[in-house]
Structure formats: structure tokens, C-alpha cells
Structure 1
Amino acid sequence: MLNPNLKPTLKPTPSEDGIGIWLVRTEAEPLAAVLQSGLGGTLYRPWLDTTRSQKQQFASAYPHHRHWLLLGATGIAVRFLDGLTQDKHSDPALVVIDEAGRFAISLLGGHEGGANRLAAQAAALIGATPVVTTATEALKSLVVGIGCRKEVSAERIAAAVQAALEKLDGRTMADVREIATVDLKAQEPGLLALCAQHDVPLRVFSHASIAGRGWVGQASEWVRSNVGLDGVCEPCALLAAPRGVLVVTKTALNGVAVAIVEDGFRAAGAAPSLFASSNISSNISSNISSNISSDIPTNIPSNISSNLQEQ
């Protein structure tokens, strides 16, 4: 239980080796409770100390944790960090999460400090969108959507992903920016192990989000009966990269379904096309077309609907 009367402890203690969670306002209490429950850490409620400004309090507390979550506006975080940063190899990492829990922004220490990983973990926990701007991630353009049976091993998942990647000449796990799945699989051991092995974040979408935009090339009766969705891998990949192109449609192997979306910047005014990638072979496109009913679902994005109607 959260103790609302607990004042922030600024003197270093062994427990502060974990995450520091800074609440800018009391309105962030519910969000902070969820984050602390899932990630652990120490809560800081600076309004309880009326003798110093929040910036002064944060400056005192900042060195005592290797990782920080600040619940508030990015501008506040920037002002708090003014004068505190020294070196990217030693500065504590900081992730900003808005009070509505919509975005988890890796602001400082993305790679060296682990902010990118923390942003992904926090986002998966609260259903937020992770925001990562480091150059290495910008060069990774593949998003892999995965659906799998319960307790499938990491080796079987890896084999299915490899089979899908082989459809793209020369592409490997080194090109994968993130893996996406449904919330029911957020704690799937094999999936988590694969992500950890390749240092790739797992992005989780709620059942409702997928149902609302759950277009798939061909619905799965098994998934519909057991999960309540038409499919998992394709919609998850498309939701994770909404401007992307589906370059590998659903590929199933030993209880694992994989789809791959190629993300990338497009010129202003050029709408993303589901089948327009030069990397997708004509035979895959033909197979997709033959499997699509003339009655296109009404809950898919308009640009995808237009592309399907032209097939």
C-alpha cells in the first residue's frame, strides 16, 4: 500500500539502487502505484517538502538511483536536469511518462544508461507508447508481430522468426527494432527470453486495441476461439508501425505465428501502402489478394481499405 505521508528519502540507502519514481503532482499517484507494483522502486513526493523547490529536491536525489521515471511533462524534466548531466556513460537514465500514461519517453541515457529498455518495460506495463529517438534504433526498421501457443519455448519462437526473416533477403534479428504481441502474452516466458537474448524490446497491445484495428489477411479460427481476435501477429505489427508496410504476412511454424512490417519515413502526402514495398515479392502479394474477401472489414484504417479495394 502507498503511504501518502511518506516523505522522500534523499540520503542514499541500499534500496535506492533500484528505480526512482518522481511524481510532479499528486494526480500521478495512481500511475505511480502501477509502475511501482510492476517495476519496484522508490516513490518521491516532493510536495511534502515545503522548504525546497522540486528542482532542488530532484538535484539532491538524482545521483542516488541509476534509473529514473519522472511522471510529468518533458519540459519539467529538462529543467530539472539542467546542470546535473556530466557524461553519457555515468549519468543516471531518465524516462518521462505523462500523467495520463500515454507515452514513455527515453529522455536521457538511452543506451548506456538503459533508458530505452526502461521505457519499453514501463510502456508494456501501463499500455503506453514507448518513444525512443537514439540513432541505433532509427536504423532498425523491422517490427515483428508474434502470436504463439502457451509456453512455447524461446527456441521455437526464434525458429519461426528466422523462417519469416528468411523471406527478406539478408535481413536478420539485428534489423529488428521491436517485437509486438497481445497483452495476454506479455509474460510469456519464451517470448521474454527471446527479447532478452537479442536485447529487443517487447511492445504489448491490449486486446481492445487489436480488436478495434484488427485487420488480418486471413482470420484464424483457433485464435478467434481461444483469444477472441481474428489474429495477433499481423495487427500487432501494423499497430506498432502504423506508417509501415507489411512485408511478410502471417507465417506459422510449430505453434508460433509471425508477421513483419517494414517501417520508414515517407515523404509528406505519401500514404503508406500495405503491399507497396519493393521487398515484398509478387507471389506473396498474389496470395494475399486471393485470400481477401470482397467484404473488407470496416474497422481497418482508410488507407489500407483503399489499397485492398484496388487489388
Structure 2
Amino acid sequence: MSNSKTAIYALTAKGADLARKIALATGADSFVLKRYAEESDIPFAGFTSLISNNFSVYDSHIFIMASGIVVRAIATHLKSKDSDPAVVVLDQEGEFVISLVSGHLGGANELARMIADQIGATAVITTATDCAGVPSIDLLARSNGLVIGDIGIIKHVNAALLDGERVGVYDPEFFIDLNDFDEFFYRVSSVEDLTDLRCSVCVDWRVHSLPERVLKLYPKCLRLGVGCRRGVPAEEINALVIAILTEQRIAGQSIASMGTIDAKNDEVGMLEFARQMNFKIKFFSADELEEMKGTTPSELVIKHMGVGSVCEAAAMKQSGGNNLIVPKKKSARVTMSLAKDVRIRGA
């Protein structure tokens, strides 16, 4: 299978022609019923089995066929709105492009509009916020690179917006850009100001005790530095990291990456921990880590690694400056530190 993130499916000759036109413009993989397939297509015979194999592989699916066929084919594969791929349906004449599944988070609305522009069709968007012309908080979160805490709370925020209410937002470091949305949101100066509101939004890397209807959005702004002795299992690294995050009331969802010294690039426990947490891991040379000032040097680390600091220096190296929020913490065989990204961004 190719590296394309989008798949197109056609069951008729006319649908196949439209699929090739869209595939040419988007770089998508074009799956066409075998009897209508050409050299540029991927032929198939069994539609149901094809969808079973493809549904979780591609980020977006474009179906040129009746929507009822699509609904029945994808129904058993749908899981949740924060993980389902975008699903768009077209008629074979290319008159309408329907955003069917994952309109916001999956990008189906955006995809439907893009295809409609390309082929001169009408995009059919049914999500309430789009129809009412109000911003959707999940789309705002996505466009600002924020991680959604409890996706179930999105409906409460969007419902308030649809009712014409302005929604309070606590965002002390201005991670979400609301400059064009004064009609819909207002900023509050204290997290306590969110307590008595119908619903509200908290944008922060810190953990707060908040009412149930506060939507928590986490900026990916923290960098984890880790050091460990040889042979330490992933569970031991995880135990220290979770303990410190809990103690310091810091959201793990805000960790964007982790780093360590390049001598650990084959450390099984370290690699497994990064895989389990879905962290991109960055390896730095001793010279690169030695460049970072303001660390707490360790004689033991100097002896074994040739550098005064691993975890603090690796955290700061990723963050772009001396911005430690958690200096070195350690257990028997693991060290960790957290730094916050240096940002040049104002209100």
C-alpha cells in the first residue's frame, strides 16, 4: 500500500472516472471495482472486506456511491469521534459532496469543501456549528495544536455557543488564538472564575480541580528529559514520570516529546517507554547536552556519560532554552526533568 493518507472508492464506470480525477488532484489511492479499473487504479472484488482492511489504515475515505452503502460498510468500524477517520460521500455525477463522519476532528468538512471546489460540486455540511456560522471548540482546539481532555464535554460548549452564549476561557499563556472570536468567547483571569459558569474552557499544562462541564485543553508545550541506568525496564521509567507529574500537578497530555543522550539510543526500556507513551524521542550527543547551562551536574553522570547532566540538559535542549519547570527528580535508577517551550507569542 502507498503512503497516501486518503482512499477513494468507486463501484461504477462513471464513479471510477470521477475517482481518478480526484485522485490526480489529491494524491489519494483510487480503489475501483475490478471490471472498471485502469492501470492507475487499485482493483478490488470484495467491497466489504476491502473496507475492513482499509478503514483504520487511511486518515480519510472518499466514497463515490450511495450513502446507504457507505453507512452499512463502515458502521462496524466506527469507534469514537476523536479517532474515526474522515468519511466523505459523493454521487457519481459529482453534484454533491457529503461530509458523513468526523466532520471536525477528522477533517471531513474541510475535505468535502476542498473536493467540492475542485470538481464544481456542492458541499453538504450538517454539523450544527457550521450551519449556524459559529466556531466549533473542537476545530479551534485542533487548529491551535491543543489536546482535548474529555471529548464528551465538547457538546456542552458548542451547545452554549449555538444558544448565543459567550463562553469563558481560562488561558493564562494565550495558547489559543481568540482574536477573531470576541463575539463567542471571553477570557477570564483566574481559573476560579470558571466555577459557576454553565460551561467553559481551561487551556493549561497544569492540572486543576474543575467542575465537570469545564472543557480541558492541553497545549503540547512540555519537553521531558530522561536518564537511566542500563537495563532499566519501561515500567520503572514510567513509575517515576507518573509520580512526579501527579505530585507537581502537571498534565501528561502536554508533553510533546522526550529526549536523552545518544548513548541510550539502544536502551530497550527507554525505547519501550517512548513507544507506550507515544512520545517522539530525541537523542543528543554529550557535546550538545554540555552546551546547556543552568543544570545540576552529577559526578556519576560525568563518570559514565561524559557530561554533567542528561535529563535536565535534554529537556532544555528540546524546549529551546533554559526554562525548567521540574528540575531533576530521581528514583533508584531513573532521572527525569521537564522544561517548557520557549514561546514568542503574545495575547
Q: Tell me which interval the TM-score lies in, with the shorter structure as reference length.
A: 0.3 to 0.5
Q: Higher strand proportion, which one? A: 2
Which has the bigger relative contact order, CA under 8 A and spacing at least 6? Answer: 1
TM-score by length of structure 2 reads: 0.39
- For the pair shown, which has the larger CA radius of gyration, 1 or 2? 2
TM-score by length of structure 1 reads: 0.43
